[in-house]
């Protein structure tokens, strides 16, 4: 959780004053104009993920508006998921990641890099063993087939984003194989990159250990996604179970009528 230094504070306030458009000649409510200015400094990168917003009092004084106007502007951005309010701590930037459900499978690393974020992971566990009944079904394997499992914390810009358990047949991913920074790049080198996936989503409350690893409070809202990925020809190549932070992700589906 980052604070705002004096230089950054002054630059931030100057940017807000330059973009607030208090007299824009329209009937746009004043709090909407303040909201636009706040959104601009966030999307422009002047406030990064988990940076604290200056106090309402300072914002109101700098912009020459009431604290009620500032409070209403902030409330709207909280509703959008761009800001989060933490009891007794203040208001913080909370960039949410939109995950489209109607596109070919992409790796976590590719998704984060496309958003200008630096992906990382910590391997919590890696082992090979006989496939479970669920893995046999999801990967269309013979009972007793060896499967390699990867259990990782996936992070973006040092912020834990999700817990991911991946199962792949051991003939595709041997136990000691080097996956480097991206499993999908390794699969692509073998011409086994997924091109299609089935996903099942449900809301959940994160258990104590999951919450600890993701840096949130036990019982926080989360999203559980179960994914079965297929290569060209229809062979299932990957079975993934992911626990996402509920405060960081929106899953978006495009519906065509």
Q: Mind listing the pLDDT tens digit for each residue in 76-120?
A: 888 776 788 877 888 888 766 767 776 677 888 888 887 767 899
Decide: 125 and 149 in contact? Cβ < 8 Å.
yes
Task: Write the CATH number of the domain with boundaries 6-93.
Answer: 1.10.10.10
| Residue range 212-254, pLDDT digits in tens | 999 888 999 999 999 999 999 999 999 999 999 887 777 777 7
Q: Among 147, 148, 149, 152, which Cα is nearest to 124's?
A: 152
In CATH, what number does 97-252 get? 3.40.1410.10
Domain ranges of the chain: 6-93, 97-252
Say if CB 166 and CB 138 are below 8 A apart.
Answer: no
Let me know if the fold of 6-93 is the same as that of 97-252: no
């Amino acid at each position: 959780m980052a604070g705002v230094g004096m230089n950054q504070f002054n630059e931030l306030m100057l940017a807000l004053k330059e973009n607030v458009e208090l007299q824009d000649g329209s009937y746009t409510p004043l709090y909407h104009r303040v909201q636009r200015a706040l959104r601009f400094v966030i999307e422009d990168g002047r406030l990064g993920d988990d940076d604290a917003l200056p106090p309402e009092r300072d914002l109101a004084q700098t912009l020459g508006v009431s604290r009620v106007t500032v409070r209403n502007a902030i409330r709207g951005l909280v509703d959008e998921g761009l800001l989060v309010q933490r009891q007794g701590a203040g208001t913080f930037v909370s960039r949410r990641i939109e995950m489209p459900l109607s596109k070919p499978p992409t790796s976590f690393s590719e998704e984060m890099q496309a958003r200008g974020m630096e992906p990382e992971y910590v391997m919590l566990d890696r082992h090979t063993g006989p496939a479970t009944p669920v893995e046999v079904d999801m990967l269309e394997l013979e009972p007793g087939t060896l499967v390699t499992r990867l259990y990782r914390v996936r992070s973006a810009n040092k912020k834990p984003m999700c817990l991911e358990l991946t199962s792949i047949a051991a003939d595709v991913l041997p136990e000691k194989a080097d996956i480097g920074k991206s499993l999908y790049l390794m699969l692509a080198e073998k011409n086994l990159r997924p091109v299609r996936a089935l996903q099942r989503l449900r809301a959940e409350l994160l258990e104590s250990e999951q919450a600890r690893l993701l840096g949130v409070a036990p019982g926080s809202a989360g999203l559980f996604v179960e994914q079965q990925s297929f290569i060209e020809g229809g062979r299932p190549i990957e079975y993934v179970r992911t626990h996402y932070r509920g405060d960081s992700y929106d899953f978006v589906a495009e519906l065509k009528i």
